[in-house]
Chains A and B, each alone.
Chain A
């Protein structure tokens, strides 16, 4: 079945621009939809679903094309790079585009009941519009090959994220302070990033990533400006991807945002920032240079180790379900950083694979957590008593994803943890293996706590009557079980995902890409 032959030619030529332009335009149109309760919310939801569906189709076709024919380049405005802004889809970012679009589609299915419960009717159209802006920002961040364009899309996605997190205030007023905290820290991070880009521009005179790599290779390795640029970019991106100790915004933002947006954000935002770190560390700067190699291996890996330990420890002691999952996210991102810190092809492949797998796991877990709140108003772990009986299907999905988080064989979590352990062993980092095993034990504890509450405790009683079974709505169960089934399917047969990760790692280990594509008119 050659899907590639079914895609019309204009998708391959204009796909990259379409991926970014369509959500942005639809965001604007969604914002002016009438805000009367019945129509406004539903129309906006349909618009979001259609947009994310089309983006998924385009992203998948681009992935197939990249796998078959190599990178796709697109010159915005017809101006040839390095003077124009170029978009590039290659083996490193094509899977992430598909990931972001797929998660958007699934979360939008989930949004239909969830947003109806959490956002007041006259704000729903604007809410969905902000979501589309965030979606466009994430896609743009991943697809662009121009350094300053990265900053622009980074801020576009971040600003809409601040707004969307704050929309959770109708449920819990702590959303406001969490969003403010995220705003301050996120802006500092983005500003650090733009300072780094400024230094890079000072050193190379260009903003196109491939051109920068070329000029840096020719000379400028020893320059203090280059080293400073790398340091600022690392810190800026590190804050966005919740690298320890810059992770303190994450638990608040994930816990108090509307559950639809938490599910989306947990599966995509940190992954996009991690992709950027990979792109800059390996494809603009060269890891074979002394200071980059040292910074990447020592600093990133060390911070990954610390993050794993600290976050897993904290996850064990949280009382709020969503905070447990949030700290678990920080720990999982630290696994990815550990894989990246090894800077070997196997390590990079393992980190990348874990990125894809973790998105599947966390998206599903947060959807289930939102379903618990939707039916029973549950946010605390102690309130999860008896959920195995009162919400059997939801809890079953949650359990599948939970054991996948731990890393039981047969699930995606196991595949990527095994890959990490193998990479660490081959690299000689025995302490990393010890850390991975230890944190997996901690994961057993904090996930086990949740499962024990749900299955081995009786449901609470209201007076003399036990709370009766009240399953989550179908629109919530479908995306949850799609995530859960993917976790099993890609765990048992991980060939496709591993090949994607391997292709990405090959690209990264091949060193900086210094060929500026020639295309466009002038």
Chain B
């Protein structure tokens, strides 16, 4: 029998919940503590938990390193792209109000913040994963009996 059956079953149940909680923290940033960085770390930790329990090869199949590279840059591009979009719409860099100039309840600000926070989430998640992959790939995987 697999020595780590309990661990694997529990992780399989927990990992989606962790990722879900990460997204909750992300969107909760508008109303309380939270936001992109914290959520990014939580989502990344769900993948790292998977890598710890099932082995790094399995994790690399789930979230390939090429995704990681592109994801990191995509996040920064989303953030910078929001700023460039505000430029093109006539305001200063990252002046979110130009997204919805006529709104009375600052809808432009809401859209802008949402957009940059998604960028931050993307970057932080994949950056954490990149760091983990870089470190974890250097040592050979421990066999099941060793831990």
A residues at B contact (CB < 8 Å) = 14, 17, 21, 24-25, 28-29, 31-32, 74-79, 520-521
Tell me if B83 and A21 are in contact (CB < 8 A). Answer: yes
Tell me if B80 and A14 are in contact (CB < 8 A). Answer: no
16 A-B pairs with CB atoms under 8 Å apart are A17-B83, A17-B92, A21-B83, A21-B84, A28-B73, A29-B73, A32-B70, A74-B92, A76-B92, A76-B94, A77-B94, A78-B91, A78-B95, A79-B95, A520-B95, A521-B95
If A21-B80, A78-B97 touch, whether A520 touches B73 (CB-CB below 8 Å) is no
| Number of CB contacts from chain A to chain B under 8 A | 50
Chain B residues within an 8 Å CB radius of A25: 76-77, 80, 84
CA of A32 to CA of B75 in the docked complex: distance in angstroms?
12
Chain A residues within an 8 Å CB radius of B50: none
Chain B residues within an 8 Å CB radius of A77: 92-96
If A21-B80, A25-B80 touch, whether A32 touches B93 (CB-CB below 8 Å) is no
CA of A520 to CA of B98 in the docked complex: distance in angstroms?
12
B87, B94, B96, B97: most-surrounded residue (chain A CB, <10 A): B94
Tell me if B87 and A14 are in contact (CB < 8 A). Answer: yes
Chain B residues within an 8 Å CB radius of A79: 95
CA of A173 to CA of B93 in the docked complex: distance in angstroms?
42
The distance from the CB of A274 to the nearest CB of chain B, in whole angstroms, is: 28
The distance from the CB of A209 to the nearest CB of chain B, in whole angstroms, is: 19
The distance from the CB of B48 to the nearest CB of chain A, in whole angstroms, is: 22
Chain A residues within an 8 Å CB radius of B87: 14, 17
B residues at A contact (CB < 8 Å) = 69-70, 72-73, 76-77, 80, 83-84, 87, 91-98
Chain A residues within an 8 Å CB radius of B96: 77
CA of A24 to CA of B80 in the docked complex: distance in angstroms?
9
Closest B residue to A522 by CB, please name it.
B97
CA of A29 to CA of B73 in the docked complex: distance in angstroms?
7
Tell me if A24 and B76 are in contact (CB < 8 A). Answer: yes
If A14-B87, A32-B73 touch, whether A21 touches B93 (CB-CB below 8 Å) is yes
The distance from the CB of A2 to the nearest CB of chain B, in whole angstroms, is: 27
CA of A318 to CA of B28 in the docked complex: distance in angstroms?
59
Additional A-B contacts beyond A14-B92, A25-B77, A76-B92 (11; CB < 8 A): A21-B83, A24-B76, A25-B76, A25-B80, A28-B76, A29-B73, A31-B69, A31-B72, A77-B95, A78-B98, A79-B95
Chain A residues within an 8 Å CB radius of B76: 24-25, 28
Chain A residues within an 8 Å CB radius of B95: 77-79, 520-521
Tell me if B77 and A28 are in contact (CB < 8 A). Answer: yes
Q: Which 10 A-B pairs have the closest CB atoms?
A: A78-B95, A17-B93, A77-B94, A28-B76, A28-B73, A25-B80, A32-B73, A78-B92, A77-B95, A78-B91
Chain B residues within an 8 Å CB radius of A28: 73, 76-77, 80
Tell me if A76 and B93 are in contact (CB < 8 A). Answer: yes
The distance from the CB of A19 to the nearest CB of chain B, in whole angstroms, is: 11
